[in-house]
Structure 1
Amino acid sequence: MSHTNALPFPSRSIASDGIPGQAPVLSVKGLTTNFDTSSGTVHAVRDVSFDLYKRQRLAIVGESGSGKSALAMSLVGLVPPPGRIVGGSVKLHGTELVGLDDAGISKIRGRDIGLVFQDPMAALDPLKTIGTQFVETIRVHQDVAVKVARRMACELLAEVGVNDPERRIADYPHQYSGGMRQRVLIAMAIANDPAVVIADEPTTALDVTTQAQVLDLLAKICDERGNALVMITHNLGIVEELCDSVNVMYAGRFVESSSTRSLFGTPAHPYSKALLDCVIDPATAKRGALPAIPGSPPDLSVDEPGCPFVSRCPIGRDELRCATERPESRTLAGGAVVRCHFASDTPGDAA
């Protein structure tokens, strides 16, 4: 059953073991990020690993507080104090990013990895024109004259659907609608032809029509330019329509990694199934209480030995094991990589 009205995005699937003959653009291994606070250490990102390939659209999904945005910031060296990366590797085209100084990571960020943030008003300086900010974005990474950078900016604004860019480039952010500001951010993110675009909740607070336009734009750009896309979102409708691969994140860890088709067809982890069960289908929705996952996400400052989902899990087949033994990643017959003692490829079994 489809959970949303499908948009005209091509249906693709990237296998969990990658693309034959193609090296990953971005390779993340064992990435771990902590926040040392007065009340204890918050384990925001725990031993996260994944590979990203050219033109791949990878979604990272989960509830608020699951570690999605902390992961995104870790990938580009923007973890705010008191946060810090304490372990793992992030390689872009084989170059290690973890451990780079501010100057080194600044050369990568914006040039090789483009960022689209969830709040366009916070990401854009309200005191500077769109043109001033756009020209700065280009000239930081490219040795071009102001006039050339301005022309490039106008061409990119036209590409993302901003009408009359030669005039609109002189406007300030408040003179653009929310959807148009998001288009500007997308144009800025691709201005230096990055290998990877990271979009952190890029459709927040946009109406449904504008959201569809922004998603269509991201899909078009990735296909035409060859960018790889990392979509950080809690909106499973976006995932089903736009992405070919999914990493489900819970309590700082990936609990399921699979193709989008596999996740929506046969979710293997109980948390993945619970998330999908919370998606409301307008065609069949009835009045009454909205579906929800019982309980609350765990306290990330407490490093419990068992499965972090144990208190909310509906399976309960071996409570002692789930409470005392942390599940390791394992690959199921269908290709999904799952952290669960009882995960199954068979619908209705463990999942």
Structure 2
Amino acid sequence: MSHASLPLLSPRPASPDEAPVLAVRGLRTDFEARTGTVHAVRDVTFDVRKGQRLAIVGESGSGKSALAMSLVGLVPPPGRVVGGSISLNGKELVGLDDNGMSQVRGRDIGLVFQDPMAALDPLRTIGSQFVETIRVHQDVSVRTARKMACELLAEVGVNDPARRIADYPHQYSGGMRQRVLIAMAIANDPAVVIADEPTTALDVTTQAQVLDLLAKICDERGNALIMITHNLGIVEELCDSVNVMYAGRFVESTSARSLFETPAHPYSQALLDCVIDPATTRRGAMPAIPGSPPDLSVDEPGCPFAPRCPIGRNEPRCATERPEPRTLSTGAVVRCHFASDITGGEA
């Protein structure tokens, strides 16, 4: 399923012997709703190491963006992190107040959002916003910060940055606005960059340019990259590892190569089956996973994917017993009672 239109750099795998820059353990995030408590993120555990490119994939509503917002303390009310640990270079983030998290955001964790017009203030120039981003975290003068901003804009491909820095966001194209966000995200040399669906509103050619730029800059600077996306073409070309998310949990954690060659969870396989190949897909035929995602305000005892799963629909165990994480011989960590049968290997 090669995405030939994305001329991206080859992922550089992180060494498992390196200490993680970001360590998440048992993270849980809830939202209070009229219908009950929505458990958006449920017992999520993972590590991110320097230079790693990690994808988090899943359908809309699977918990991807809630997880991203939990990592940076931006869960919108009435949501909140209710348990677990987020450790960034040994510093615990869960429990930090707003002032503490504001020091982390932009300095230790850079953010690239999917809608640059929402992330940038339309009433302020690019320069004033960029200078503020730098000076909040670095003790430099306005003149120095402005010079740094121009250098970063040039690095991400903005022509004539000394002039364009005085422009407003609406004077930039969508792709250029995304380049500005990337430059602002790396301005304070963060350990981790989180990109939440950063190319959603862009055409295919601009997507490729933005993704290539993001990968190149993270590689050159050694930033870890967490890519939140539903686009498996991006995962295949850009990332070295992937967590597949369903109903607030990771159901498969593996290398990107293993995901595409030997997906171990039925949901992972279903996602791959939904990728449209123009060469083989009939006009009007849109592959889809049957059924609907589960109600996250209800904590059912079995596997949440069972009602939509070709195996789970016929297995009583899947409806009554929640699968625990299991490590397969491939190294994939999977929440499925029958993962070894699917892959043909031993758990």
Distance of 1:282 and 1:289 partners within structure 2:
10
2:9 counterpart of 1:19: no
TM-score, reference length from structure 1: 0.95
Q: Residue by residue, what CA displacement relative to the aligned partner does 1:236-257 show, whole Å, maximum 9, x if unpaired?
A: 0000010000000000000000
2:79 to 77, 83, 99: 83
Equivalent positions of 1:1-351 (< 5 A) are 1-2=1-2, 4-14=4-14, 19-20=16-17, 22-316=18-312, 319-344=315-340, 347=343
Distance of 2:336 and 2:299 partners within structure 1:
17
Distance of 1:290 and 1:316 partners within structure 2:
24
Q: Residue by residue, what CA displacement relative to the aligned partner does 1:90-130 show, whole Å, maximum 9, x if unpaired?
A: 00001100001111111111100000011000000000000
Q: Any unmatched runs of 5+ in structure 2?
A: none
Q: Judging changes above 3 Å, is the alpha-carbon distance between structure 1 residues 4 and 320 closer, same or farther for their aligned structure 2 residues? A: farther
Distance of 1:299 and 1:114 partners within structure 2:
32
State the SS of the aligned residue for 2:275: coil
The number of aligned residues is: 346
Aligned partner of 1:115: which letter? L
Distance of 1:348 and 1:234 partners within structure 2:
27
Distance of 2:276 and 2:267 partners within structure 1:
17
State the SS of the aligned residue for 1:344: helix
- How many Å apart are 1:30 and its aligned residue? 0.3
Deviates more, 1:318-327 or 1:139-148: 318-327
Aligned partner of 1:136: which letter? E
Distance of 2:248 and 2:79 partners within structure 1:
14
Distance of 1:194 and 1:12 partners within structure 2:
18
- How many Å apart are 1:284 and its aligned residue? 2.8
Q: Judging changes above 3 Å, is the alpha-carbon distance between structure 1 residues 89 and 287 closer, same or farther for their aligned structure 2 residues? A: same
- How many Å apart are 1:228 and its aligned residue? 0.1
Contact 1:333 1:345 in 2 (8 A): no
Contact 1:34 1:43 in 2 (8 A): yes
State the SS of the aligned residue for 1:255: strand
State the SS of the aligned residue for 1:241: helix
Deviates more, 1:288-297 or 1:122-131: 288-297
- How many Å apart are 1:302 and its aligned residue? 0.7
Distance of 2:309 and 2:344 partners within structure 1:
14
Aligned partner of 2:16: which letter? I
- How many Å apart are 1:38 and its aligned residue? 1.9
State the SS of the aligned residue for 1:328: coil
- How many Å apart are 1:315 and its aligned residue? 1.3
Q: Any unmatched runs of 5+ in structure 1?
A: none
TM-score, reference length from structure 2: 0.97
Distance of 2:320 and 2:176 partners within structure 1:
50
